[in-house]
């Protein structure tokens, strides 16, 4: 999506401009990270926090360093009264589309947290609506702002690891039972008739899916040919906490991601690109890349990162290309849709997991899951193909 660069009347090119007024919807929980980032960009003179939309206003301690931005639980009214040019939306998944469209109607450009929507239909409603309004929209997959992504794509295209054979992702995290009680929508597939789809693959470890698709060069909805899912849960929740997905792209590339929130220990998630003469491993939270190929020693590199809100500001100022426009997350949303329409996650048998003390509540640990997640990324296999005794015999298959 492209928008016209900022051309405020009476301002000569290259002269100083006023910071973009920003409204943040959802300032607690993960939203705190957006507050920190907005403060950083304020210091650079790029934005100013004009308003916060929360059900309960933030107190002075939470707003330390921000002065007194306007606060309201009415997002539309807040956008109107502040004249916000940018809206950052970090609210429950099921609210994303409606809030994005409210922002678009007010002419506010968007940074919309991932996942962009709980269903493909809602994603299309959002993406089509913001496009029709002529506002820019950036989806908050921060890993796609890593300079490692284009660097790895260049290595693949130059044949550094030979023929591309597939891309595997692995995410093994620890989350205690309190994590699934942190909000009414946590661990839910639906609330009444409203889709939520808060599963391991679609929310906490969604970056692994989106990053694997980006490295495969298959980010658009039309790039996906076929999807298989295996959804399981150890916790007493509706959604999956231990799951895997494998898809075939229209290029013929297999992409798989295995994820769990019930690991023995947390480890940094990663994506591995398999080639006929080597492999590239990308730890996306560290922006760290390891290239291993025939005839060479291992080569490790650490890359820079472009902040997505800063990229959105640059797009509005001078037309810099957006890093993660909605269409670049279409393939990811095909995965969300496959998870949404799959049968409810299979409850793991009691002998497949055990309970351990967690940070604030007990946590459930699936036996051997860390090794299975890694094996899946190495072999592009589903859990059922790795002889996990608790895995389903067949995977749910979804064609486009």
Q: List the CATH number of the domain containing 108.
A: 3.40.50.720
pLDDT at 397 (0 to 100): 52
pLDDT one digit per residue (tens) for the chain, 400 residues? 546 555 433 333 334 689 999 999 999 999 999 999 999 999 999 999 999 999 999 999 999 889 899 999 999 999 999 999 999 999 999 999 999 999 999 999 999 999 999 999 999 999 999 999 999 999 999 999 999 999 999 999 999 999 999 999 999 999 999 999 999 999 999 999 999 999 999 999 999 999 999 999 999 999 999 999 999 999 999 999 999 999 999 999 999 999 999 999 999 999 999 999 999 999 999 999 999 999 999 999 999 999 999 999 999 999 999 999 999 999 999 999 999 999 999 999 999 999 999 999 999 999 999 999 999 999 999 999 998 988 875 445 555 5
247 is a domain residue: yes
Task: Confirm if 382 and 232 have CB atoms less than 8 A apart.
Answer: no
What are 387's strand-pairing partners? none
Determine the Cα–Cα distance for residues 96 and 108; give it in Å rounded to an integer: 15
Nearest CA to 251 out of 176, 168, 165 is that of 165
**Per the domain annotation, does 41 fall within a domain?**
yes
Beta bridge partners of 399: 226
* pLDDT score for 17: 84
Among positive and negative, which fits the CA dihedral 339, 342, 344, 346? Answer: negative
pLDDT value at residue 398: 56
Pairing assessment for the beta strands 190-191 and 194-195 based on DSSP bridges: antiparallel
Q: Is residue 320 part of a domain?
A: no
Do 164 and 250 lie in one domain? The reply is yes
Per-residue model confidence as pLDDT tens digits over 229-265: 999 999 999 999 999 999 999 999 999 999 999 999 9
- Cα distance between residue 320 and residue 207, in whole Å: 23
Query: Is 214 found in the same domain as 359?
Result: yes
> What local confidence, expressed as pLDDT, does residue 8 receive?
39
Question: Does residue 119 lie within any of the structural domains?
Answer: yes
Instruction: Kindly state whether residues 256 and 378 are assigned to the same domain.
Output: yes
How many domains is the chain built from? 2
Residues 25 and 171 in one domain: no
Note the Cα 37 to chain centre separation in Å.
17
Q: Which helix (H) or strand (E) holds 99?
A: helix 96-105
Domain assignment of residue 315, yes or no: no
Where do we find the tokens 């793991």? 348
In-domain check, residue 3? no
* Residue 151 to residues 57, 251, 282, 315, Cα–Cα distance (Å): 43, 20, 11, 22
**Contact criterion met (CB below 8 Å) for 189 and 358:** no
pLDDT by residue (tens digit) across 276-291?
A: 999 999 999 999 999 9
CA angle 237, 239, 243 (to 5 degrees): 120
Q: Examine residue 310 and state whether it is found in any structural domain, yes or no.
A: no
Question: Given 139, 171, 186, which residue is the final one in a domain?
Answer: 139
Distance between alpha carbon 166 and the CA centroid of its chain, in Å?
A: 21
Residue 134 CA to residue 387 CA, distance in Å, equals 50
What SS3 class is residue 27? coil
* Residues 295, 253 share a domain: yes
Same domain, 60 and 157: no
Q: Hey, what are 303's tokens?
A: 């890359």
Q: Given this model, what pLDDT does residue 393 score? A: 54
Q: In this structure, what CATH number is given to the domain that contains residue 164?
A: 3.30.360.10
Is-contact 223 254, C-beta < 8 A? no
Left (φ > 0), alpha (ψ -120 to 50) or beta: where does 197 sit? left
| Torsion, CA 204, CA 210, CA 216, CA 222, rounded to 10 | 130
Shared domain check, 374 and 251:
yes
Do 153 and 284 have their domain in common? yes
Would residue 9 count as lying in a domain?
A: no
Q: How far apart are CA 272 and CA 283, in angstroms?
A: 9
DSSP letters spanning 199-258? -TTTTTTHHHHHHHHHHTT--SGGGEEEEEEEEEESSSSSS-SEEEEEEEETTS-EEEEE
What residue numbers bound the domain in which 368 lies? 148-303+326-399
Question: At which of 139, 162, 189 does a domain end?
Answer: 139
- Beta-sheet pairing, 278-283 with 288-293: antiparallel
Same domain, 244 and 200: yes
Q: Which of 106, 139, 172 is the last residue of a domain?
A: 139
Report pLDDT for 16: 62
Host H or E run for residue 156: helix 148-157
Closest CA to 381 of 209, 169, 202, 211: 169
The 3-state DSSP class for residue 353 equals strand
Neighbours of 252 (CB within 10 A): 9
Omega within 30 of 0 (cis) for the link into 115: yes
Neighbouring residues of 293: CB distance < 8 A, sequence distance ≥ 6: 160, 161, 162, 275, 277, 278, 279
């Amino acid at each position: 999506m492209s928008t016209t660069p900022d051309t405020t009347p009476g301002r000569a090119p290259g002269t100083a401009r006023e910071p973009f007024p920003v409204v943040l919807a959802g300032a607690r929980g993960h939203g705190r990270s957006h507050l920190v980032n907005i403060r950083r960009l304020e210091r650079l003179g790029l934005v100013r926090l004009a308003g916060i939309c929360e059900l309960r206003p933030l107190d002075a301690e939470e707003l330390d360093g921000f002065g007194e931005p306007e606060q309201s639980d009415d997002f539309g009214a807040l956008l109107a009264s502040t004249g916000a040019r940018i809206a950052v939306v970090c609210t429950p998944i099921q609210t994303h589309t409606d809030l994005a469209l409210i922002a678009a109607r007010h002419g506010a450009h968007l940074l919309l947290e991932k996942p962009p929507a709980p269903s493909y239909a809602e994603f299309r409603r959002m993406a089509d609506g913001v496009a029709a309004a002529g506002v820019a929209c950036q989806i908050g997959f921060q890993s796609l702002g890593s300079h490692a992504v284009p660097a790895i794509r260049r290595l693949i295209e130059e044949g550094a690891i030979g023929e591309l054979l597939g891309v595997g992702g692995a995410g093994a995290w620890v989350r205690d039972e309190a994590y699934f009680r942190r909000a009414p929508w946590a661990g839910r597939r639906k609330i009444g008739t409203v889709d939520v789809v808060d599963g391991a693959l679609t929310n906490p470890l969604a970056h692994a899916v989106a990053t694997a698709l980006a490295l495969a060069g298959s980010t658009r909805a039309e790039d996906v040919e076929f999807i298989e899912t295996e959804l399981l849960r150890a916790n007493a929740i509706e959604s999956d906490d231990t799951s895997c997905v494998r898809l075939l792209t229209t290029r013929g590339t297999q992409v798989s991601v295995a994820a769990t929130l019930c690991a023995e220990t947390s480890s940094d998630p990663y994506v591995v690109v398999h080639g006929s003469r080597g492999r590239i491993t990308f730890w996306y939270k560290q922006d760290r890349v390891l290239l291993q190929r025939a005839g060479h020693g291992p080569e490790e590199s650490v890359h820079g990162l472009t902040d997505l809100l800063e990229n959105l500001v640059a797009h509005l100022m001078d037309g810099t290309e957006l890093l993660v426009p909605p269409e670049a997350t279409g393939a990811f949303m095909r995965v969300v849709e496959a998870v949404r329409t799959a049968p409810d996650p299979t409850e793991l048998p009691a002998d497949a997991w055990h309970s351990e003390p967690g940070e604030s509540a007990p946590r459930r640990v699936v036996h051997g899951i860390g090794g299975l997640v890694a094996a899946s990324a190495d072999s592009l296999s589903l859990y059922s193909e790795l002889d996990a005794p608790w895995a389903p015999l067949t995977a749910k298959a979804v064609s486009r």
